[in-house]
Amino acid sequence: MKTSGTMAVDWEQRIDFDKLRKDRLNNVKHALAKSEMGALLCFDMNNVRYITATNIGSWAQDKMSRFTLLPQKDEPILWDFGSAAKHHQLHCPWLGERSRAGIPLLRGAMSPEMGRAEDVAKKIRVELEMRGLLNEPLGVDIVEPPILFALQKEGIKVVDGQQLMSDVRVIKTAEEIDLLNMSAMMVDAAYHELYMAMKPGMSENQAVGLVNKVLYDMGSEYVEAVNAISGERCNPHPHIFSDRVFRPGDPAYYDILHSYMGYRTCYYRTFAVGYASRALIDAYKRCRDYLDAAIELVRPGRTTGEIAAVWPKAQEFGFPDEEASFALQYGHGIGLAIWEKPVISRMVSLEHPHEIKPGMVFALETFWPSTDGWSAARIEEEIVVTPTGHEVITKFPAEKLMVAGAHYVTVEGPLPTEREHEAPPSEGVLEMIAASAREEGRGLTPAVKNGKNGKNGKNGKNGKEAKREKAGVRR
């Protein structure tokens, strides 16, 4: 799996973006031709990008503010913010005049009486009528209810187009795989900087800020999230960062999700800060073993059910059922979205397995709680399915638990990176306790000595208190 620079150059073949655009659109056209649908209408930003190769920034990701129509045996039409539509006309020759101004409801921000839903429906009706497709089913991926009702009022039969797009995006093109690999490369670098920076006194939100800076400096277009979880927040997994400050011996795990040219990462790593307890080390090994067992099964011809079967049942790590533990032992496709087909989980995959095929790219992630009741380990790898097996594209070391900020040196040398939060007493301390016990065995406790044979003395203990203390030591 090659890793190139992020620039375009004349002296080396890198990402062929023209081929990427054509291949993606052709994939959808072929799937549409085999379907019952006369056309496909998409509001999902990722589907719009896949079909039209246009983007207006991550700020629009959740607003359903743009849409595209792909009729059978024709080219896509895009409706966008007017200024963006004009920009596409000037700079996206593969779209040209088929880039038009058009504004839907903006997820309810435009109220029904403004007539935006009806305007969208009329635009779609005109295009379908022109092509003789008005009586054919219209596939829609996601839609606001008023637009759905307006389409139906125009006499358009709306059917599920989301599954068609999900199926199309399962198998990645060569360019898509290269972009996913480059996106993972950027997170490799972010984890290195994070590992070098972690220390007691740093907070989760500072770690998130550092990761964002590294990624944006490297050319990320969108840092979707950085989950930063530390200390007692590790179990149960809250899936969100806070301002908690790292302390010596803390576990800390992260999930870094960002986009390079639209292609995402979902990439967990776990660390110990300063040193690690035996409980955390054991949890990490268990977590890693479950992940490695899953990765070993990734090859063409296997199924998602076989992978899910090697993972523990929910009850084995403290949950009543698979729905309650969903996404802790988990796999998911990754591409223009972080969760695509195939989903791999004991909740669904055992009864509904999907065959693993070359060109799939998915992430596998595992979790295991420590026996101490509060720490936990979380690891994730991204895997490309090749014709003969697989390749892992997440490269930051994770085969063993990494310890960050281990700079403590005693008079006897470096402090061990495996130690408990409460250090065991030295041999000298144990001998001191044993000597005290032997002395008490002759009936002479420090309290009795100082208290003049059981009467009140310096420590304020009377004879009855001394007797109780003496009996307790003997037991």
> Where residue 406 falls among pLDDT bands split at 50, 70, 90?
confident
Both tokens assigned to 419: 């130690």
Count of other CB atoms within 10 angstroms of residue 141 = 20
pLDDT (0 to 100) of residue 437: 87
Q: How much of the chain, in percent, has pLDDT values that exceed 90?
A: 84
Look at residue 448 and tell me whether its pLDDT is greater than 90.
no
pLDDT band at 183 (very low <50, low <70, confident <90, very high): very high
For a pLDDT cut of 70, what percent of the chain falls above it?
93
Q: Does an H or E element contain 201, and which?
A: none
Model confidence pLDDT, tens digit, residues 47-97: 999 999 999 998 998 899 999 999 999 999 999 999 999 999 999 999 999
Query: Three-class SS string for the chain?
Result: CCCCCCCCCCCCCCCCHHHHHHHHHHHHHHHHHCCCCCEEEECCHHHHHHHHCCCCCHHHCCCCCCEEEEECCCCCEEEECHHHHHHHHHHCCCCHHHEEECCCCCCCCCCHHHCHHHHHHHHHHHHHHHCCCCCCCEEECCCCHHHHHHHHHCCCCEEECHHHHHHHCCECCHHHHHHHHHHHHHHHHHHHHHHHHCCCCCEHHHHHHHHHHHHHHHCCCEEEEEEEEEHHHHCCCCCCCCCCECCCCCEEEEEEEEEECCEECCEEEEEEECCECHHHHHHHHHHHHHHHHHHHCCCCCCEHHHHHHCCCCHHHHCCCCCCCCCCCCEEEECCCCCCEEEEECCCCCCCCCCECCCCEEEEEEEEEECCCCCCEEEEEEEEEECCCCEEECCCCCCCCCEEECCCCEECCEECCCECCCCCCCCHHHHHHHHHHHHHHHCCCCHHHHHCCCCCCCCCCCCHHHHHHHHHHHHC
On average, the pLDDT of the chain sits at: 92
- Residues 64-87, buried b or exposed e (16+ Cβ, 10 A)? bbbbbbbbbebebbbbbeeebbee
Mean pLDDT of 207-217: 98
User: What is the pLDDT, as a whole number, of residue 442?
Assistant: 55
**Beta strands 376-385 and 409-410: pairing type?**
unpaired
The predicted-structure confidence for 256-272, as pLDDT tens digits, reads as follows: 999 999 999 999 999 99
> What pLDDT sits at residue 214?
98
Which structure tokens are listed for 408? 């403590």
pLDDT band at 454 (very low <50, low <70, confident <90, very high): very low
pLDDT for residue 313 is more than 60: yes
Lowest mean pLDDT among 12-21, 293-302, 451-460: 451-460
This prediction has a pTM of 0.90
Can you tell me the mean pLDDT for 27-53? 98
- Whether 449 has a pLDDT exceeding 70, the answer reads no
Whether pLDDT at 458 is above 60 = no
Asked whether the beta carbons of 164 and 37 are under 8 A apart, the reply is yes
The H or E element that residue 283 is part of is helix 278-296
Residue 10 has pLDDT above 70, yes or no: yes
* pLDDT, mean of residues 31-49: 98
The residue count for the chain:
475
Stretch 442-462: mean pLDDT: 44
Q: How do residues 147-181 score in pLDDT, each as one tens digit?
A: 999 999 999 999 999 999 999 999 999 999 999 99
- Give the torsion sign (CA, 442, 446, 447, 452): positive
Residue 469 has pLDDT above 70, yes or no: no
CB 237, CB 376: distance < 8 Å: yes
pLDDT (tens digit per residue) in 314-324: 999 999 999 99
Q: How far apart are CA 7 and CA 29, in angstroms?
A: 30
Say whether pLDDT at 355 is over 80: yes
pLDDT confidence of 460, banded at 50, 70, 90? very low
**DSSP SS3 for 298:** coil
Looking at 154-239, list the stretches that DSSP marks H as alpha helix, in order from N- to C-terminal side: 162-168, 174-197, 204-218
- 93-142 pLDDT tens trace: 999 999 999 999 999 999 999 999 999 999 999 999 999 999 999 999 99
Q: Is the pLDDT score of 447 beyond 60?
A: no
Whether residue 471 has pLDDT greater than 50: no
223/206 Cα distance (integer angstroms): 15
Element at 42 (helix H, strand E): strand 39-42
pLDDT of residue 402: 97
pLDDT of residue 2: 86
